[in-house]
Structure 1
Amino acid sequence: MSLSAHQVRASIAVSDIHRAVEFYEGKLGLRALQSGPSAHVADGSRTYGSGGGPALNVYQSGTAGKSSATLATWYVDDIDEVVGELIAAGVEFTRYDRLEHDAKGITARAGGGRIAWFQDPDGNTFAIEADI
């Protein structure tokens, strides 16, 4: 049996689930499909839907924000529109010194297309990508 036949979702550790809910729901506009416990926190996790199914499991943990890598990427048709909407909602986009970014924080992606990165309150990094 292969894992390729099964759905996968990203799990994101956060230090404060209530602050995370404000960000993921309030700024990113994600809808919680369910909530539940996380370790010793009775209401310490949320499963968020995106693209028609469960996509992110956000849970309170002492390991929050420990990775500097991009943890999840949304693939969109119109990156200018999506990034603009997120900026209007208060999301700040990350600019890397070695890359040239436009006014919104979007840069050319290796191999073609465009990409922009942002972080949640714990420093977890996410990306928005488009092929054009």
Structure 2
Amino acid sequence: MFGQSQAFSGFSVDDLDEARRFYADTLGLQVTEEGQGDMRMLILRLATGAQVFVYPKDNHTAATFTILNFPVDDIDAAVAELDRRGVTLERYSGFDHDDKGIVRGEGDGPAAIAWFTDPAGNVLSVLQEN
């Protein structure tokens, strides 16, 4: 039924202007703003052609799970660039992080993953696949 649908995902933030600066300036994504007043929203346009809808919510609660994953060819370079841009990596109990904050995987999962948050506290990741 929905196999041909151009589905998209979305998430909330508590400050749309701060989110626009983070996703456009810090992460370098293509970000457009639509609407006006209380109906403002951001559209993140990803390299795959996918779009992600970001909307303000007064009683925003940050997602406690990863809402966006960014696959990269070289996680060490990506983490170094995030650090250079002022992004702090998250460290979660139960994972063996290296000194850079990267979890090096084994088995079927990603070869390596590192988590960080947007200004609204939503969890994002950069990952290098096997």
TM-score bracket, normalised by the shorter chain, equals 0.7 to 0.9
Q: State yes or no: 1:56 paired with 2:52.
A: yes
TM-score, structure 1 as length reference: 0.83
Cα offset, 1:125, TM superposition: 0.5
Contact 1:10 1:72 in 2 (8 A): no
Aligned residues: 128
Residue aligning to 1:119: 117
Structure 2 unaligned blocks of 5 or more = none
Going from structure 1 to structure 2, the CA distance change for 1:59 and 1:92 (only over 3 Å counts) comes to same
Counterpart-to-counterpart distance in 2, 1:9 and 1:105: 30
Residues 38-80 of structure 1: CA deviation (Å, up to 9, x unaligned): 7x525x2111112142432111113423420111111121111
> 8 Å contact 2:22–2:119 — kept in the other structure?
yes
Measure the CA separation in 2 of the matches of 1:52 and 1:75: 11
Counterpart CA distance in 2 for 1:105 and 1:50 is 25
CA contact (8 A) 2:13 2:62 kept: no
Q: Which residue of 1 aligns with 2:61?
A: 65
Question: What is the RMSD of the two structures over their aligned residues, measured on CA atoms?
Answer: 2.0
Task: Structure 1 unaligned segments of length 5 or more: list them.
Answer: none
TM-score by length of 2: 0.84
Higher strand proportion (structure 1 or 2): 1
Give the deviation of 1:108 after TM superposition.
2.3
Contact preservation (8 Å) 1:118, 1:125: yes
